[in-house]
Amino acid sequence: MRLFPRKSLPKRLSRLQALSLFATLDARELGIVEGLLHEREFLAGEVIFDAGEEGQAIYIVQEGQVQICRPGQGENGLVAELGPGQFFGELALLDNASRALQARAGSVCKMSVMFRADLMNLLEVDAKVSSKIALQLARHLGRVVRAATAGAAMEVRL
Amino acid sequence: MSLRRRGPGPVVWAGIIAGTCLLLVLLQKVLWLTVPCLFALLLYYFLFSPMQWLMYRGLSREQSATTVMALCLLVMGVFFGLMLPWAAGHLLDGQSIATRYVQGGMGLLERSLVALEKSSHLFANAHLAEKLATRLDVLSGGIEAYIEPVVTAILAWAPTLLLTPFLAYFFLRDGGRFQRMLASALPNAFFERGLCLLHEVDRTTRAYFQGLLRLTVLDTLTLAAGLWWIGFPAPVWLGLICAVLAWLPFIGSLLGGLLVVLVAATDFPDAPAMAYAAIGLFLAARLLDDFVYMPVTIGRSLHLHPLVTVLMIFVGGAVAGVPGLLLVLPLLGVVMVVGEALGTLATDSRLLARYAQSRQLRREQAQAGLTG
């Protein structure tokens, strides 16, 4: 039993905590991150970022659906579909490489965007917040690698 | 998406130089606001790191800005409170002090020419000392007439400097909100590049002003150490005044050197070696400044070619006088970043196509249900 019951988070912060990238942050840390996020809205079919562009931001889906696809290949080019709470664009953000795929809004969607320079600044200034975010990013990449490996094994079996 | 991936072409460069000159002319027209803004930016970048430290300890941006500004004002208040009795005593006879130092400098010049005439027939035949003495007699009678308008102008300007902490506080408190507002105005297609541009402008101005502060500290320490070693009175104050004067490219260093020579000539009239040692110290400090301090502080921050830097300083002086000399480099740095980014955006056909697609989608959404 807690001597001092934990205060419930304000709605805007609990919405942020629901996103997988920030799930482990406490109220103070969520407040810091909230100050760094930009809100964007995209219409269905609108390109969020294009393959070949240099990645400068990580996108977190708040509402709607996002399609990750290979441009110019129509339905066949669809690689993944992401929903609320999921994030994308992290690879280009980490190694400053070009975007490998195109991200397109599957429906009207609302997104939180964290700019690369702000994240890098956070990494330099607040080790605790940045380590928590980095750990979530690493977990996410681990899941991607495991999924890719499982997919490759399936292809071999087929 | 580095904004510096490709160098700007001649058209963009022409636009950058024209834009810088235009801004210099406009800023000169509102100089009463430009100077406090400049000092406020210096204060903003000086206080930004402590404010960020407080923010990361859990305070809101507003609380952090208020705390650091209150502490800064407290320190300034204590400093000026302690300085006030001393300054009041000196300001009352400030005009006579200035006259004394100018006359001391003229005396040194005259004595140097007499010494030259004694050592060389060429100078002796020219009667330089005699001619100069006649001219100086005419000039020295009206020194007060030259000093008075300068002192009056400084006193008239002083109240506008009270805007500095006020502006700096709002830069600190609302700077992030202002950047987010600008970012929110960007179309989706240009969003990432726009963020890069805003970040690069902020980085450039921050690097310039923080570099300027570091350069001032280094200059002050170097000059103070040198002046103390030579045996000057109040070496730290003299070093600080000269370091602040050096904010004006070229002219500032000359003024600083002149000030120290005047002090040497007046306070040590029988020791001309002091004045020559001060000149030597200034030349050494200048070389150290140009080849060591400047490249590691301001030079690196703006990524400007040395030739462009020197030419633009002359252009700044010609277009907007002394304020132009002070403003031209930070302005050029910012205009260059904006010019390069706009040049890249205007020629990126893929981005323009994305923007057109986005507009088409929005138009269709707005028109949905209007017909049929």
Minimum CA–CA partner of A39 in chain B:
B184
Asked if B349 is an interface residue toward chain A (Cβ–Cβ < 8 A), one would say no
Q: Look at the alpha carbons of B151, B152, B155, B161 in this order and tell me if their dihedral is positive or negative.
A: negative
Between the alpha carbon of residue A1 and those of residues A5, A6, B11, the distances in Å are 8, 11, 70
Say whether pLDDT at B23 is over 70: yes
The structure tokens listed for A52 are 């070949």
Of B2-6, B87-91, B327-331, B365-369, least confident by mean pLDDT is B2-6
Residue of A96, A115, A121, A133 to mutate, interface with B, max B Cβ within 10 Å = A115
pLDDT given at position B141: 58
Residues A92-101 have pLDDT tens digits of 667 777 888 8
Residues comprising chain A, all counted: 158
Percentage of chain B beyond pLDDT 90 is 13
In this prediction, residue B187 carries a pLDDT of: 92
Q: Which amino acid is at B76?
A: M
Q: Tell me how far apart the alpha carbons of residues A123 and B36 are, in angstroms, rounded to a whole number.
A: 34
What pLDDT is recorded for position A59?
92
Among A123-127, A154-158, B189-193, which stretch is predicted with the lowest mean pLDDT? Answer: A154-158
pLDDT tens for B34-49 read: 888 888 988 998 899 8
Residue A75 pLDDT exceeds 80: no
Q: CA of B363: which chain A residue's CA is closest?
A: A43
d(CA A44, CA B33) in angstroms, rounded, equals 47
| Separation CA B50–CA A5 (nearest Å) | 32
Return the exposure string of B34-44: e unless at least 16 CB atoms fall within 10 Å of the residue's CB, then b.
bbbbbbbbbbb
> pLDDT per residue over A3-54, tens digit each?
555 567 777 788 888 888 888 888 888 888 888 889 999 999 999 999 888 8
Confidence of residue A153 (pLDDT cuts 50, 70, 90): low
In sequence order, the 6+-apart residues with CB closer than 8 A to the CB of A86 are A20, A60, A61, A66
Res. B8: pLDDT tops 60: yes
Q: Which of A13, A36, A53, A93 to mutate to test the interface with B (most CBs of B within 10 A)?
A: A53
Q: How far apart are the C-alpha atoms of B164 and B43, rounded to whole Å?
A: 8
Nearest of A103, A120, A132 to residue A22 by alpha carbon: A132
ipTM of the complex: 0.82
Q: What pLDDT, on the 0 to 100 scale, is given for residue B205? A: 82
Model pLDDT, residue B47 = 92
How many beta-carbon pairs below 8 A join chains A and B? 59
Q: 195-224 in B: which are within 8 Å (CB) of A? A: 195-196, 199
Q: Quick one: pLDDT at residue B300?
A: 59
Q: Which region among B51-65, B118-132, B230-244, B263-277 has the lowest average model confidence (pLDDT)? A: B118-132
pLDDT tens profile B303-353: 677 777 778 888 888 888 877 887 888 888 888 888 888 888 888 888 899
Q: Which of A32, A47, A57 is the closest to B55 by Cβ?
A: A32
Determine the residue of chain B that is closest to A42 in CA distance. Answer: B188
- Give the per-residue pLDDT at B106: 72
Of B52, B199, B365, the CB nearest to A115: B199
Percent of chain A with pLDDT over 90: 22
CB-nearest partner of A28 from B58, B184, B362: B58
Closest CA relative to residue B230, chosen from B286, B269, B268: B268
List B residues 231-250 in contact with A (Cβ-Cβ < 8 A). Answer: none
Nearest to B51 by CA among B41, B43, B61: B61
pLDDT of residue B3: 45
A24/B110: higher pLDDT: A24
Asked if residue A158 has pLDDT above 70, the reply is no
pLDDT of residue A156 exceeding 80, the answer is: no
CA separation (Å) from B99 to A58, B104, B106, B109, B319? 64, 8, 11, 15, 32
| Contact partners, residue B16, CB within 8 Å, separation at least 6 | B8, B332, B335, B336, B339, B340
pLDDT at residue number B280:
87
Residues of chain A contacting B358 with CB distance shorter than 8 Å? 43, 46-47
Q: Do B56 and A32 touch (CB under 8 A)?
A: yes
CA A145 to chain centre: 16
CA-based nearest residue to A58, from A33, A88, A94, A24: A88
Report pLDDT for A66: 94
> Which residue of B lies nearest to A27 if distances are taken between CA atoms?
B58
CB of B361 within 8 Å of a chain A CB? The answer is: yes
Q: Which of A54, A110, A121 to mutate to test the interface with B (most CBs of B within 10 A)?
A: A54
CB nearest B188 (choices: A42, A54, A129): A42
How far apart CA B144 and CA B94 sit, in angstroms, is: 11
